[in-house]
Amino acid sequence: MTRAWRRAAPVLGIGLLFAVGTGPAHGVTGYLPMNLDPLLQYDIERVLLLADEPVMTRPVAVSRVQAALPAACAVDRALCERVGRELGRYATRAAITHLRVEGAGAGGADRALPNRHGLPIDSAWQVSASAHLQVYDWLRVNLGGVAWDGDEVPLGTGVSVGVPWAQLDVGWRGHWLSPFTDGAMLLSTQAQPMPSATLSNPEPLTRWGVRYELFVSRMSSSDRIRFGDGFTSGYPRLAGASLSIEPFSGWSLGVNRIMQYGGGERGGDSFGDAVRAFFQPSKFSNIGETVDRDEAFGNQAASFTSRFLFPGRTPFAVFLEYAGEDTSAGRDYLLGNSALSVGVQVPQLWRDFEFTWEATEWQNAWYVHGTYLDGLVHEDRIIGHWAGDERAFGDGVGARSHSLRIGWRAPPGGLLEFGYRTVLNRSYSPVDYQRAHEGRLRYTQPWRQGMLGGELTAGRDVFGDGYTRVGAFLQFHGEPAPRARVPAGELPASAGDAVEYFVDVGVNANRVTVDLIEEIQRETTSVDVAPHVALGVRRAVGARSDIGTRVELDDMDGNLLLAVRAIDYRYRFDSPLALGAFVGAARYDLATPAYGIYGGVGAQWRELLPNWDLGVQLRYAYKVARDNLLPEDPQGVRPDSFYNVASMTLSLSRRF
């Protein structure tokens, strides 16, 4: 990326000369930094949750946080004023918004720090900067970059033009396609940002809160792109799309797609090819009887996401992601080689604490591909989840990861953070992996016109090699912006919505259809009766409607079925009767985990006893799939096995 940085450096220098003025700027918006400013990022997460604003992708637009401030002020005035002052720098006509210098000493395993734009752990220094110039309401020049010992990239450098409902960003703008904060399966900040063109709407459309993001990027050069009888060299492209809606305040649903294509002599560059591959991935991206390797469009991945915000004395968020590296069973709507992520975030625990937990499990074949042998990699780093770099290069092994973050807003205004990450790759790989662990302790303290802090990171990777890093940083925020008047604000309209926690206990009657070899040879088990347990939360979104999420545990034919509801809807009648419908994803705990879509309907008789409800539900997990990876699995017929799980539950629900 050195050549790209040199091209951007003159523009950066000119922009910094202009970045001395003040005065409000309107029109196109800037974006807040990702994983570069811990204090600001911590406060922004709080503001958005308190304002009932579910974030599905990042970076977060400055205009979105500004719009959320009035509602957050009604809950936490000090937080609102603090963020208002920070956003003042981004609202001026021109300013230096960020300048950070970091020094560190490290030893041990060679690796990149998770989600730090490709920063290697052994770099003795890092410098990052950003500035902007609002030329017109519709034109904004963004300048920035990150450099470390051995490399540099113009992160944040680019030009933004447009209007709030259609803004075009051209340059090195980062992308994070997930509501999760520590890991994204499709695209994150694990690798360096790619030069890209992005069209999005910082302000939502319609009362459904529609947000979209379309982009095309250029990946780093690869010499291992299969073409014809050999290989071709070139720069693959990465196209992406994200669409989310907010049907009710505090709840969003999203769908994301990325497509790796082109490079060297490979075709697939036409708009028509891209459209066909986007809407019919099984036909135009998968190698088969009608499409050979050279005709296939490329490598695709997709995800469905949701994020629920629950107000109350201790507001919190629950977020889910169901992703697939490919399609399954020849159907475009079924995800193959699946990944399931769940997370919980409590941004205001006992007022001064923050808690976030995220867990992800994925099947095999993630980030590897038969045509693009380097896989979904940019500048030697996986572009998705940080744990994808915790394995031998090119090994498409499944894994499970956890991350935990606890923050304390310590007096007088500092932030003490403890983080923990772990990942364990599946044992069927020929590589002898160990469980990886990483702990991180960081303290950040405001100081004059910036902040200073230190960080200690230590861990052991999947090969059993240990590492440590000790760093200190000084961050300068530029001249303080004029103190903006912080609106008094009102509580979000949904702040009074009732929030219910509940536990279901009962029995399920189930039957499993097993399809190991051919569909015509499917076998169905006899009906079995087993315990059923569920834990959930819901909030009122209307006079009669509730929406929420839940996790269910059931014994199905001697194996554990874990189901997560991304949509759990209930309609309450005037009588005690309530009807519901739900959809989500299921994990079947076999020799290797199987995944599939899951849904059903139910009825409930409320207040059978005080705070107790009686419910019955019909549930179905469809095409729950796993690849045949083990020696005892069926071989030579097809690569995967399928399971359909039908069940009916009768349960008592205790509300809290």
Per-residue DSSP letters for 306-329?
EEEEE-SSS-EEEEEEEEEEEEET
Q: What would the mean pLDDT of 629-645 be, rounded to a whole number? A: 88
User: Does pLDDT of 181 surpass 60?
Assistant: yes
Cα separation, 523 vs 514, in Å, equals 5
pLDDT band (50, 70, 90) for residue 167 = very high
pLDDT for the residue numbered 5: 43
Of the ranges 198-202, 512-516, 518-522, 631-635, the best mean pLDDT one: 198-202
Is the per-residue pLDDT at 485 higher than 70? no
Q: Which residues contact 492 (CB under 8 A, 6 or more apart)?
A: 51, 52, 71, 249, 250, 311
Residues sharing a CB contact under 8 Å with residue 591, sequence separation 6 or more, in sequence order: 630, 632, 633
Q: How many CA atoms lie within 13 A of 202 on its CB side?
A: 25
pLDDT tens-digit profile of 311-363?
888 899 999 999 999 887 777 778 889 999 999 999 888 878 999 999 999 99
What is the rounded average pLDDT of the residues 55-68? Answer: 95
Q: Do 131 and 123 contact (CB within 8 A), yes or no?
A: no
CATH code for the domain defined by 2-476: 2.40.160.130
Q: Is 451 left (phi over 0), alpha (psi -120 to 50) or beta?
A: beta
For 499-655, CATH gives 2.40.160.20
| Confidence check: pLDDT of 499 > 60 | yes
- Whether the predicted pLDDT of 182 surpasses 90: yes
pLDDT at residue 190, as a whole number: 97
Instruction: Please list the residue range(s) of the chain that carry CATH number 2.40.160.20.
Output: 499-655
**In this predicted structure, what is the pLDDT of residue 18?**
35
Q: Averaged over 172-184, what is the pLDDT?
A: 97
CA dihedral 171, 177, 179, 182 (to 10 degrees): -80
Question: What 3-state DSSP class applies to 73?
Answer: helix
**pLDDT tens digits along 384-435:** 999 999 999 999 999 999 999 999 988 888 999 999 999 999 999 999 999 9
The pLDDT value given to residue 13: 42
Average pLDDT value for the chain? 90
Residue 33, preceding bond cis, omega within 30 degrees?
Answer: no
**What confidence score (pLDDT) does residue 91 get?**
83
Lowest-confidence range among 116-125, 135-144, 443-452? 443-452
Structure tokens at 226: 């299969």
Provide CATH 2.40.160.130 ranges for the chain: 2-476
- What's the half-sphere exposure (Cβ side, CA atoms, 13 Å) at 148? 18
For residue 239, the model assigns a pLDDT of 95
What is the per-residue pLDDT for 349? 86
Contacts of 548 (CB under 8 A, 6+ apart): 308, 500, 536, 537, 538, 539, 565, 568, 570
The label of the residue with tokens 């902007």 reads 132
383 — pLDDT class (breaks 50, 70, 90)? very high
Q: How far apart are CA 597 and CA 580, in angstroms?
A: 18
Other Cβ atoms within 10 Å of 175 Cβ, number: 27
Q: Give the amino acid at 212.
A: Y
CA 178, 180, 185, 191 dihedral sign is positive
